[in-house]
Amino acid sequence: MMKYSKTLSVNKKLISVALSTVFLISACGEEATGTSGEGFNSDKDTNTGFDQGKLIASIVDNVITPTYQEFSSLASTQRQAINNYCQQESAFANNSGNEQLVSEAKALAKESWRQAINTWQQADMMQLSPLLIGDGALRNNIYSWPTQNTCGVDLDVTYFNAGSVNGQPYDIATRTASRKSMVALEYLLFNDDLSHTCTGSTVPSEWNNQTEQYRKIARCEFAGEVAKDVENNANELLTQWLGTDGNGGYAAKLKAAGTEGSDFATEHEAVNELSDAIFYLDKFTKDGKLAKPLGLFANECGAQACPEAVESKYSEHSIENVKHNLEALQMFMQGSLTVDEVDALGFSHYLVDVGDEVTADNINDHIALAIEITKNYQDSLATTLEADPDKVLSTHGSVKNITDKLKSDFITSLALELPKTSAGDND
């Protein structure tokens, strides 16, 4: 394998120039890829001599596993921080605390959510079997976005407080994902309007007539229950990934690719599975987090820029989410969490080995540029959509530059197939 020394270096001149001249695109002017998922590249030789097994092991062990582990740890920290905040709210209500302690505890609870969601945005880019089975049930229980239901959350605050729903003991594990997950936690922690959001015939009974402190405590206590459920699901993800009691999880199945009895007939099939995962950047990041709020796709405002359509609108954390998605892709390209990991193998090294260092460099330069653009936001994504929509359009363009390369040169050079969600996609 050729020694790879250039891929992960950032061309500062390129970034400086591109930041001021990045191409502004529109949905109707985007480049079509013309490739299909099933069978595309299936006739190409994948036996190049590159050690695909080491690539799989590097991404599994150096990228995905530590990311899942970190999120599990942060989910536990989040639960503890929210429980401490609830204790301070209750103490204040009983005249044994003070507003400063409440404010400090709530700030720490919010920060614990930010830390957890940052790592989750990286984990969410790693769309592999534990997060996909059952129509993504486990993934949605951790983070239901783009599905969210604030009225459902408001109702479940009262159900949890009462201890029952529809005559049965309240059990958050049986509740639909849109009423819980990190999405519900954001709403409960960052939305200071204590009035319920329900507009239909089913509303939280007498909720708006309760005292402010009663509602704060009730919302916080439900947030603690949601945080516990998120932690349980984070641990379940880790269990399914790593396995228990000597029974290997999905990580072991990937690393066993090509061996007798493996779920993957060849190592290349497992590599394609890892490739499919990173196309989250196309469907969710480019389209859902940027194009939809921009109005390039229909949103709740019609076909126009719509601040209400951004992800994480209550915490104003939307652009940070995009940045962490990009950082996850960067990890897949380098095969590790950091650029200087010894003996790491990522997709960049594979591209170089098959003779396409140009594509490796282009993708990595585009990733570095896009990350730099997200760091240069002075306001939230929602505020920027109103004040400077062209800036958001250029951010979308910088991400599209990456996904265009992934859907063309990347899969062609590595003889991979596009996931069905991206096959034939011209956006």
How do residues 143-172 score in pLDDT, each as one tens digit? 999 999 999 999 999 999 999 999 999 999
Report, as an integer, the average pLDDT of 281-290. Answer: 98
The full length of the chain comes to 427
Residue-wise DSSP of 218-239: HHHHHHHHHHHHHHHHHHHHHH
Using one digit for the tens of pLDDT, what is the confidence trace for 188-233? 999 999 999 999 899 998 999 999 999 999 999 999 999 999 999 9
Task: From 294, 315, 312, select the one nearest 386 (Cα to Cα).
Answer: 294
Q: What percent of the chain has pLDDT over 70?
A: 87
What burial class does residue 262 get, using C-beta atoms within 10 Å of its C-beta: 0-12 exposed, 13-18 middle, 19+ buried? middle
Provide the mean pLDDT of the chain.
Answer: 89
Nearest CA-CA partner of 71 in 119, 131, 139: 119
User: 10 Å Cβ neighbour count for 338?
Assistant: 10
| pLDDT confidence of residue 231 | 98
What the block records as the tokens of 288 is 């859902």
Name the band, by pLDDT with cuts 50, 70 and 90, for residue 424: low
Distance CA 18, CA 85 (A): 44
The pLDDT score that the predictor gives to residue 403 is 98
Q: Read off the pLDDT band of 180 (50, 70, 90).
A: very high
pLDDT at 423: 59
At residue 339, the pLDDT reads 76
Report pTM.
Answer: 0.89
Give mean pLDDT, residues 49-76. Answer: 97
Residue 165 per-residue DSSP state: E
- pLDDT band for position 336 (50/70/90)? very high
User: According to the model, what pLDDT value does residue 245 have?
Assistant: 74
Which residues neighbour 127 within 8 Å (Cβ) at sequence distance 6 or greater?
139, 276, 277, 279, 280
* pLDDT for residue 4: 43
The residue-averaged pLDDT of 302-325 equals: 96
Which whole number is the average pLDDT over 359-375?
98
pLDDT in tens, 18-36: 444 443 333 333 443 444 4
Query: How far, in Å, are 21, 282, 283, 379 from residue 386 at the CA level?
Result: 21, 24, 24, 11
- Pick 92 or 338 by higher pLDDT: 92
| pLDDT at 425 exceeding the cut of 90 | no
As a whole number, mean pLDDT of residues 338-345 equals 82
**What pLDDT sits at residue 35?**
44
* Whether residue 109 has pLDDT greater than 90: yes
